[in-house]
Amino acid sequence: QSVLTQPPSVSAAPGQKVTISCSGSSSNIGNNYVSWYQQLPGTAPKLLIYENSKRPSGIPDRFSGSKSGTSATLGITGLQTGDEADYYCVTWDSSLSVFGGGTKLTVL
Amino acid sequence: QVQLQESGPQLMKPSETLSLTCTVSGGSITGYYWSWIRQPPGKGLEWIGYIHYSGNTNYNPSLKSRVTISVDTSKNQFSLKLSSVTAADTAAYYCARVIGDFWSGSYDYWGQGTLVTVSS
């Protein structure tokens, strides 16, 4: 059981928008940055968002991140079939890095 | 372009010590924090710990009694040792570079991962 709660799955049609939530507490999200990762099947996770809302070089602006209080949200617009993957939120809690349980995105 | 590559045994027996090395190429290990993260088959990600190039470490409390992470700046490598492994330690093990401070939770470069199976 992760300290960060994500929905197990979300789905949307190509071209649509989807949001993935990550809920925590004051000891983690409430006082630390949140990052988001995309993991395609059989590959290593890839950084999509860091410091709540910043995108690394090469990540399209279809991906966005936000944080409010003890929750964070990843938004993906203009969904493509290639976006089908598992998505994880990550933050710091006390003395360790904690991951959300992951959300499987299905592009219908 | 920074690249990370894990290496080490892929099959182990219970009670043995897992030893993995992460070789960093295309950039220096100096100046950064580096982490090990694992993922059991079909499950989520678990942070194992980090090491600073200076040698400062921090481990996941759930694994702390069995984990040692070390760094060799002369070889641009850092390593993981996990003692007394059981089937529960079967996982893909990833090494990754930390962006900024250790508490950032942001890992910008990852190795491809190596699947370690513990079985008698």
**Nearest chain A Cα to B103, which residue?**
A92
Across-strand partners of B46? B38
The pLDDT > 70 percentage for chain B reads 100
Instruction: Share the mean pLDDT of chain A.
Output: 96
| pLDDT tens digits along B57-94 | 999 999 999 999 999 999 999 999 999 999 999 999 99
Q: What is residue A35's predicted lDDT score, i.e. its pLDDT?
A: 97
Q: What is the pLDDT of residue B100?
A: 83
- Residue A1 pLDDT: 74
Closest CA relative to residue A105, chosen from A80, A83, A77, A75: A83
pLDDT tens for each residue of B96-108: 999 988 888 899 9
Question: How confident is the model at residue A82, as a pLDDT?
Answer: 95
Amino acid in the structure at residue A67? K
Residue B46 has pLDDT above 90, yes or no: yes
Most A CBs within 10 Å: which of B104, B108, B115, as the mutation test of the A interface? B104
Average pLDDT of A29-55? 96
Rounded to 5°, angle at Cα B42 from B99 and B6: 45
pLDDT band at B29 (very low <50, low <70, confident <90, very high): very high
Start-to-end Cα distance in chain B: 40
Residue B56 has pLDDT above 90, yes or no: yes
Q: What share of chain A is helix, strand, coil (3-state, %, to 5)?
A: 5, 50, 45
Torsion of CA B40, B41, B44, B48, to 10 degrees: 20
- A2 pLDDT exceeds 90? no
pLDDT > 90 in chain A, percent: 94
Which has more pLDDT, A63 or A94? A63
Find the closest chain A residue to B44 by CA distance.
Answer: A101
Q: Among partner residues B60, B106, B111, which is closest to A96 by beta-carbon distance?
A: B60
Q: Do A44 and B108 touch (CB under 8 A)?
A: no
Task: State yes or no: pLDDT of B118 exceeds 90.
Answer: yes
Averaged pLDDT score across all residues of chain B: 95
